[in-house]
Amino acid sequence: MSQNLSSRQVSKAYIEFLNQAMSAEDLENNAFHGWETTYFRTSHMYVMLRHAGDPPKTPKNEASSEITAEEAVNLIADVGPQLGRIRTLSIRLLVSGNVEQGSPIRWVLETIIAKCHGGMMFCWRRGKYMKKRRQREKEDMKKRKQGKKENEENYENKDMLSELADGVLLHILSLLDTKQVVQTCVLSKRWEHLWKRISTLMLYASSFSTPKQFAMFVSKILTLRDTSIPLQALDIDRHGNIESQLLEKVLDYVWSNNTHVKELEISVCGDSSLILSCVSSCRALTSLKLDIYPRRNIGGNFGTIFPKYLNLPALTSLDLTNFAFWGDKNGCVDPFSAFTKLNSLVLYGCKIEDAQILKISSETLVDLAMHHNSSNFSQIELSTPSLCTFTITGIPNQKICGSGLSSVKQVNIDAKMHSNFEESPMVLLSWLLDLANVKSLIVSSITLQILSLVPDILEVELHSLCNLKSMEIKLEPLQTQLGLPRVVNAMLKKVAAKSSKEATKLQKAFKAGLEPPPIPDGIVDFLRQNSPLAEVNILTIYSNCFNLKEVKESIKGARIINYHSQFAASASSSSTTPASAAAPASVAAPLNLQSLSH
C-alpha cells in the first residue's frame, strides 16, 4: 500500500492519528500533548506536517525534495524516548475499531508499531549500556580522586630534601651552626655520616649550656670529622676565657688545613700570639675576622698588638676588634699597605700607640668602616682611590683627610656625644666639608644634634655635597645616648655666648619641660643647600617616642619609612586631638630654638 501513498498522504494520516490520540478518553489529561509539542519543535517532521497541504516548493533547475512514504513513516517513528508511548497509543487506536481497513492511517499505525518495536529494543539496550557506562565513569572518578589524594599525601610526606645531590646538601649544611648540622644525623641513614663531610665549621659557645659542653662538642667534631675533606672555613666564638688546651687543638686543626682555609673568624679571650701565628700560616685566606681579648686578669686590657709581619696575599676582607697598632719614628702607622687585594676593612675598638696619624693605604679598598675606636690619636689619613663607602661610628675626635675622600659615594655617620662638645661639632663639620662627591648620606639624629652646636651653623656656606641624591636620617631619642643633658648644656652655652637674656629664657623653658626637637630646625636644609632636590627619608624603630607627623612636616619633602605600626593609631587620632596634647614633650616645643641660637 505504501507504493500508492505519497508523503503528503502519510502526513495527513499522521495528523489524523494525532487528532484521534488527543480525543482518546485515557489521554484527556493531555499527557501526549507534551510529547507532541516537544517532538514537533525538535524534528524535521514539524516542518513537513505544517506544510502538508501546500504544494511542494521546488526551486528552478533542481529535483523535487519530496520524500517517500517509507521515509515519512521513519521520521514519524524516530522519536527517541517516546517510542514506547507512541507504540502503545497506536495499538490502542487499532484495537478500538475506529480505523478502517485499507485506510492510509491504518497503514501508518501498523508501520509505526513495527518500527517502534525495533527502536524500543535498541533504546532498552542503549539505556542499559549507558547505565553501566555512567556507573563505570562514577567508579573511575572515585578512583581518580582517591589516587589524587594519595599522591598529595605521598608528596607531602616525601623526603624531597634527601633526593638532592650530596654537593647541594653539603652547601646547605655549610650555612648552619655546626651543632644543628650534627643533629641532622638522626633523619635517615643517608644523613648519618653526611655531617662529617662539611667543609665549614661554625662553633658557637652560646649554643651550649656550659663551657664544658662546648669544649666536649668541639673536641668530638675535630676528632670525628672526615679528614679527607679539606676545611675551608672556621668560625669559633667563645665568650669568656677559652681553655688553653681547647684553643691549641682548634689552632692545630686549622694549621693542618692551612693551605685550604679561606675564611677564618675567631672571637675568644685567649693567647693572641698563638692565634696570630696560626693566622699567618694560612696563606690562602680571603676573609679574616679577629675579635681577640687577652685572658681576663687584674692588669686590664691594652688591646692585641697587630703584627707587622702578617702577610696574606689573597686577603680581600679584614675585620679587627680590640687591636692596637704601633707607630713608627715619624709618628705614623700604616698597617694595611701589605694587603694588596684588600676590598673591605672594619676596625672596631682599636687603638694607636706611639703615633698620632693612622694612615690607611690601599689601591683596592672599596668599603671602610670604623666603629668606636680610641681617641688617643688625632688624624686619619686615607690614601684609598677606590674607596666608595665610608662608615664611621663614635665620638668625632680625629680629623679625616687625604685623597680617599674624593672618591667616596656613600657616607654613614653615627656620632656620639662627648663631654667636650666644643671640639666634636667642628670636627664633624670638617668631615662634611671634605665630602665633595657623596651621593648618599646616612646620619643619625644624634649626629645632626651635634652638628647643630656649631656656632652660626646655618650661616656656613658648604662647598661640598653638591652631588647629593638621598639623605637618610635614623631617628632616635636623645635619652638612648644619655646625651640629653649634654645637648641642653651645649645649647645653653651656645646661646649664652650671644645673649645672657636669651639663655635665661631658654633655661626656664627647659626646666618647664621643653626638650630639643628630634631634628634641629634648618639643619637638613643646611646639608641640602647645594642639592635641594635630594630625597630625605626618616627611619626609626622608636616610633612611639615621636610625633612622626610633625617631624615629617618640619622637613620639606621628607617621608617616614620603616616605622612601627603604633604610629598609625596616633596619627589617626591626631586629626581630632590638639597638637599640643598629641605630641610628646620632645617635639611639642613652644619656642623656636633656632631663633634663640641666632
Report in angstroms the alpha-carbon separations of 235 from 264, 294, 338, 384, 397.
6, 19, 24, 29, 34
Cβ–Cβ < 8 Å for 368, 390: yes
- 249 or 487: whose pLDDT is higher? 249
Q: How many CA atoms lie within 13 A of 570 on its CB side?
A: 18
| 8-state DSSP, 286 | S
Q: Which of the four pLDDT bands, split at 50, 70 and 90, describes residue 412?
A: very high
Q: State residue 60's pLDDT score.
A: 41
Task: Give pLDDT tens digits for 62-72.
Answer: 333 444 555 55
Q: Which of 278-287, 289-298, 550-559 has the lowest mean pLDDT?
A: 289-298
Domain extent listing, the chain: 415-420+433-566
- 352 or 421: whose pLDDT is higher? 352
Question: Mean pLDDT across the stretch 296-325?
Answer: 83
Q: Which of the four pLDDT bands, split at 50, 70 and 90, describes residue 562?
A: low
Q: Which of the four pLDDT bands, split at 50, 70 and 90, describes residue 312?
A: very high
Report in angstroms the alpha-carbon separations of 282 from 263, 310, 335, 363.
10, 10, 19, 23
Alpha-carbon distance of 367 to 318, in angstroms, equals 11
Cβ–Cβ < 8 Å for 467, 534: no
Q: Which of 39-53, 73-87, 265-279, 309-323 has the lowest mean pLDDT?
A: 39-53
Q: Does the pLDDT at position 219 exceed 90? A: yes
- Secondary structure of 224-270 in the HEC alphabet? HCCCCCCCCEEEEEEEEECCHHHHHHHHHHHHHCCCCCCEEEEEEEC
Question: Mean pLDDT across the stretch 562-582?
Answer: 39
C-alpha cell at 547: 610625633
Question: Mean pLDDT across the stretch 284-293?
Answer: 95
What integer best gives the mean pLDDT of the chain? 77
- 14 or 307: whose pLDDT is higher? 307
Q: Which of 83-92, 390-399, 577-586 has the lowest mean pLDDT?
A: 577-586
Question: Mean pLDDT across the stretch 442-457?
Answer: 89
Q: Which of 63-67, 150-154, 159-163, 543-547 has the lowest mean pLDDT?
A: 63-67
Q: Which of the four pLDDT bands, split at 50, 70 and 90, describes residue 454?
A: confident
Q: Does the pLDDT at position 342 exceed 90? A: yes
C-alpha cell at 222: 675535630
| 8-state DSSP, 11 | H
* pTM exceeding the 0.75 threshold for the entire prediction: no
Cβ–Cβ < 8 Å for 75, 44: yes
Alpha-carbon distance of 480 to 397, in angstroms, equals 21
Q: State residue 146's pLDDT score.
A: 81
Q: State residue 344's pLDDT score.
A: 97
Question: Mean pLDDT across the stretch 391-415?
Answer: 91
> 133-170: string of b/e by CB count within 10 Å (b at 16+)?
eeeeeeeeeeeeeeeeeeeeeeeeeeeeeeeeeeeebb
Q: State residue 123's pLDDT score.
A: 52
Question: Mean pLDDT across the stretch 156-174?
Answer: 82
Q: Which of the four pLDDT bands, split at 50, 70 and 90, describes residue 575?
A: very low
From the list 332, 301, 307, 316, the residue with the least C-alpha distance to 365 is 316
C-alpha dihedral (60, 61, 62, 68), degrees to nearest 10: 80
> 173-205: string of b/e by CB count within 10 Å (b at 16+)?
bbebebeebbebeeeeeebeebbbebbbbbbbb
Task: Give pLDDT tens digits for 70-81.
Answer: 555 555 555 444
Q: Does the pLDDT at position 301 exceed 80? A: no
Task: Give pLDDT tens digits for 41-56.
Answer: 334 443 444 443 344 4
- 546 or 345: whose pLDDT is higher? 345
From the list 272, 280, 273, the residue with the least C-alpha distance to 313 is 280
Q: Does the pLDDT at position 83 exceed 60? A: no
Cβ–Cβ < 8 Å for 444, 479: no
- 542 or 394: whose pLDDT is higher? 394
Q: Which of the four pLDDT bands, split at 50, 70 and 90, describes residue 29?
A: very low
Q: State residue 573's pLDDT score.
A: 37
Burial of residue 586 (CB within 10 Å: 0-12, 13-18, 19+) is buried
Q: State residue 114's pLDDT score.
A: 66
Burial of residue 253 (CB within 10 Å: 0-12, 13-18, 19+) is buried
CB neighbourhood size of 565 (10 A): 7
